[in-house]
A and B are shown apart, each in its own frame.
Chain A
Amino acid sequence: MTAVLTQPRPIRLKGRSFLALALSPELPFEDWLVRLDDLAARSAGFFLRRPAVLDVSELKIDRSELRALVEQLAKRNVRIMGIEGARPSLLGPDMPPAMSDGRPASDFEAPTAEKSEGTEGDETEAAGAPAAEARMPAVPPAGRAMPSVIVTQPVRSGQSLFFPDSDVTVVGSVASGAEIVAGGSIHVYGTLRGRALAGTTGNATARIFCRKLEAELISIDGFYKTAEDLDPELRGRAVQIWLEGESIKTETLG
């Protein structure tokens, strides 16, 4: 007998963006670690509880060197949450996962800036303020107006458009295997065959509109439905999709 799940509670998949410290080690690592130790010695706890990403995109290293570096950092209580710019062959299952599409944010102010011989008291004070600022990324207030992005070309299979802070309008189709992730609403003036994830940054009022629905997956604020869960009546029709409480609602458009 096959078990039939009636009304399974959907699993929420939410997008979140965090501000992480990106460390860009330089070769040779021994020297770089000495400088890091120097920095840590002068500001105890700088790395404590801070998510750190290792950026190795400019480095020519092999897997064992990278593993050794991660271990060295762990010894210094720097926990690496992800590695950016590494070839897949460099990463193993026991290593931090690969991260990509990082967007630059304001630099973290190291507690001991480049000027090496300064008066100690001044330095720590000056460094304290900007570091605190960097730790608190500007969180836009809720209910703000969403800027809008317009895409005038078809979105091809394998492409992923990620606009965490805006509505997205596509003049054209979204192919099977393509993906649009938006903080706001998604409008597709064509056939939606791929995935559309609207309101991913916690916006339950976001909606998805398309001229022809053939989507593989749609999601609003982390609640999602796959093609199988969608009413077959809606296939090929112009549809709008929104969220009411915790359920996804659909309706054909004129």
Chain B
Amino acid sequence: MGKVIVVTSGKGGVGKTTSSAALGAALAQNGDKVAVVDFDVGLRNLDLVMGAERRVVYDLVNVIQGEAKLTQALIRDKRVETLYLLPASQTRDKDNLTPEGVEKVIAALKKAFDWVICDSPAGIERGATLAMRHADIAIVVTNPEVSSVRDSDRIIGLLDSKTLKAENGERVEKHLLLTRYDPARAQRGDMLKVDDVLEILSIPLLGIIPESMDVLRASNLGAPVTLADGRSAPAMAYFDAVRRLKGEALPITIPGEKRGFFGKFFGRKAA
């Protein structure tokens, strides 16, 4: 039985889709079978980020409405054999996502895959609540910035009340993924510090993804950043996050901190 991960945030534009694709590709490169499901009906993007936009025939809504089989809708990645995408519908109304339909699809995916990653739409409406409904693990994507942090806090509240696990008295395992972290701006005080975000949200940190041109470049190439350039800083941060997700106790590195802090410190001493 696979694990269901929801990648969620409340706020838009913080990196949910980028992270879903990057984490999915990273997990699949270890040989795990991964399905990444786009829940953003009407505004799908995951197909673009994963470079499958020209191969979409059927989508999640088709499967839910019984117009296509799950196996027909799943798109296998051309680069990694064990990575699959279930795209969202771009033309249908989001009301076509029914709780019963989503439940069926997730149950079927759980049987066939090791990981089912649900890429949640922004907001706290139907799409977002359905994406988190069946989650075992939640990855809360947050930017070091006050409105993103507050929205994430709201989402954590929903994870604790609106998910199936919460309703059964269990708890969804929650992790914080801090994205678009800019060490230079954090040092200037233009961004919230990592500790401040952790103090406010009080959930464990899965990783810190640095702000980087590599992410944008990879998106435009149609490749998850962990596939486009595995040696880039954001890709390495996602690989580390995946190792932590699988239970490894890996110390968190704050991007740029070593150079920034120690460089200055020693520089001054030597002078």
Contact = CB atoms under 8 A, between A and B. Distances in A.
Is B a genuine binding partner of A?
Answer: yes
Contacts of A157: 150-151, 153-154, 157
B183 to A, nearest CB: 25
B202 A158 contact: no
A176 B157 CA distance: 12
Contacts of B202: 154, 172-173
B154 to A, nearest CB: 4
Interface in A160-205: 172-173, 175-178, 191, 193
B203 to A, nearest CB: 9
Contacts of A119: none
A175 B160 contact: no
Interface in B148-182: 150-151, 153-154, 156-158, 160
Given A176-B150, A177-B150, A156 B157 contact: yes
A159 interface: yes
Nearest to A214: B200
Contact of B154 (A177, A191, A193): A177
B199 interface: yes
B58 to A, nearest CB: 32
Contacts of A177: 150, 153-154
A175 B199 contact: no
A158 B200 contact: no
A158 B199 contact: no
B199 A156 contact: no
Contacts of A172: 202
Contacts of A176: 150, 153, 200
A6 interface: no
Contacts of A156: 153-154, 156-157, 160
A87 to B, nearest CB: 13
Interface residues of B, number: 11
Contacts of B154: 156-158, 177
Contacts, number: 34
Contacts of B151: 157
Nearest to B203: A154
Contacts of B199: 173, 191
A183 B131 CA distance: 37
What is the interface of chain B mostly: helix, strand, loop, or mixed?
helix
B200 A173 contact: yes
A7 interface: no
A157 B200 CA distance: 10
- Kindly name the residue among B151, B156, B158 whose own CB sees the greatest number of chain A CB atoms within 10 A: B156
Contacts of A2: none
Interface string A143-163: 000000000011011110000
A159 B200 contact: no
A106 B133 CA distance: 35
B240 to A, nearest CB: 26
A230 to B, nearest CB: 19
Contacts of B158: 158
A177 to B, nearest CB: 6
Contacts of B160: 153, 156
Nearest to A190: B202
Interface string B194-208: 000001101000000
Contacts of A159: 157
B264 to A, nearest CB: 27
With most chain A CB atoms within 10 A of its CB, the pick from B153, B154, B157, B158 is B153
Nearest to B202: A154
Interface in B245-262: none
A251 to B, nearest CB: 24
B60 to A, nearest CB: 25
A32 B200 CA distance: 52
A65 B158 CA distance: 33
A173 B154 CA distance: 13
Interface string A19-52: 0000000000000000000000000000000000
Nearest to B124: A158
A175 B154 CA distance: 9
Nearest to A154: B202
A109 to B, nearest CB: 35
27 contacts: A153-B160, A156-B153, A156-B156, A156-B160, A157-B150, A157-B154, A157-B157, A158-B153, A158-B154, A158-B158, A159-B157, A172-B202, A173-B199, A173-B200, A173-B202, A175-B150, A175-B200, A176-B150, A176-B153, A176-B200, A177-B150, A177-B153, A177-B154, A178-B153, A191-B199, A191-B200, A193-B200
Interface of A: 153-154, 156-159, 172-173, 175-178, 191, 193
Which 3 pairs of residues, A with B, have the shortest CB-CB distance? A156-B157, A157-B153, A157-B154
Given A157-B151, A177-B150, 4 more contacts: A156-B154, A156-B157, A173-B200, A191-B199
